[in-house]
Amino acid sequence: MLSLQTKGEDLMQPTEQQQPTATHETLSNELLLDMYRSMILVRHFDRRAVHLQRTGRLGTYAPLEGQEAAQVGCGYALDKRDWLFPTYREHGVSIVHGLPMSTIFLYWNGRPEGCVPPEGVNIFPVSVPIATQVPHAVGAAWASKLKGEDVVSVGFLGDGATSEGDFHEAMNFAGVFKLPVIIFCQNNGFAISVPLSKQTAVETLAEKAAGYGVEGVRVDGNDLLAVYETVKKAADKARRGEGPTFIEAVTYRYGSHTTADDHTRYREASEVEEWKAKDPIDRVKKILIERGVWSEEQDLAEWAKVDGDVQAAIDEMQATPSVAHDRLFDYAYAELPQDLIEQRDEVRRLYGNGGAK
């Protein structure tokens, strides 16, 4: 875990690979291997999703490559009964928490089925507006506290969302009522093209938590085990009724903010390569090889296995029946106004009854 006294501008540079800590040593090989396999799965899923978007089979997509340790470490530290409130980039933690990859693909394919998790998978739909999911997480945590449930809510956000009013209102409410909530910020250095230095004048995002009476913790978001330990500690604290935690996981996205963005216009290639040299997956792989429980041959076999798993999810998405175009008009109003009635009828004339195509 990194100290709150660390300079913000320094931490946004790649850190040296950390040696395994006591936490690394006490985690079983079985758990560490499971987490590592999940990181490989998440990365391959992400790369395939980008390819699908580029070939016209998905809509605009938000890549996460480079942030696997933050998401997988967080996911494993939580219980299945906990509630997640994601942004548009939480594919990794969602997979770990039980959301099928095919459901995630369906969401980015524009299907309403992509917003419906299976029964028992406690994840709210993707939130595209910035920071609006944080008050939702805090509200759910308040409900859990009032009902006496042993449940933690986790609201995810990026560094740019800490400039939004919803973030501040949620933090204040969480602090006042000492709610069982974790606000988990993946600080990847940029809010689209806006660097952290343009977002805030403070040295760290974590220190903002003190203004609301909330514990703030800053962690190396590219260290899988450091994230796991930090989130586990925050979740245990929340279950004991000791209130919320704001976690700033410092990480880096290798690609663009979304597939509609071009990160080469605002970042130097050398900066990206510096961070790739400290890749979170490579860091775990090194530990496993040093423990003698993993090999290059096993690594190649695992990448081949996840390719089949991801392809199966793609096949399931593509086998889902097309959505009628006129379904777009079903859920905005109880009674459609005249101008939308005319638009709906035009869609039906263009595409036939129901508008499926």
Q: Which residues are catalytic?
A: 253, 257, 266
Nearest C-alpha neighbor of 53 from the set 261, 251, 193, 192: 261
Rounded Cα distance, 195 and 191, in Å: 6
Rounded Cα distance, 161 and 131, in Å: 5
User: Amino acid letter at 335?
Assistant: E
CA quadruple 291, 295, 301, 303: dihedral sign: positive
Within a 10 A sphere around the Cβ of 347, how many other Cβ atoms?
18
Rounded Cα distance, 103 and 130, in Å: 22
Rounded Cα distance, 115 and 157, in Å: 18
Rounded Cα distance, 99 and 117, in Å: 6
Strand partners, 241: none
Given a contact cutoff of 8 angstroms between Cβ atoms, the answer to whether 85 and 132 are in contact is no
Residue 128 tokens read as 């595209």
Nearest C-alpha neighbor of 74 from the set 254, 208, 223: 223
Phi and psi torsions of 331, nearest 5°: -120, 5
Nearest C-alpha neighbor of 304 from the set 29, 44, 42: 44
**With helix as H, strand as E and coil as C, how does 153-178 read?**
EEEEEEHHHHHCHHHHHHHHHHHHHC
The helix (H) or strand (E) run that includes residue 350 is helix 338-351
Nearest C-alpha neighbor of 61 from the set 104, 26, 102: 104
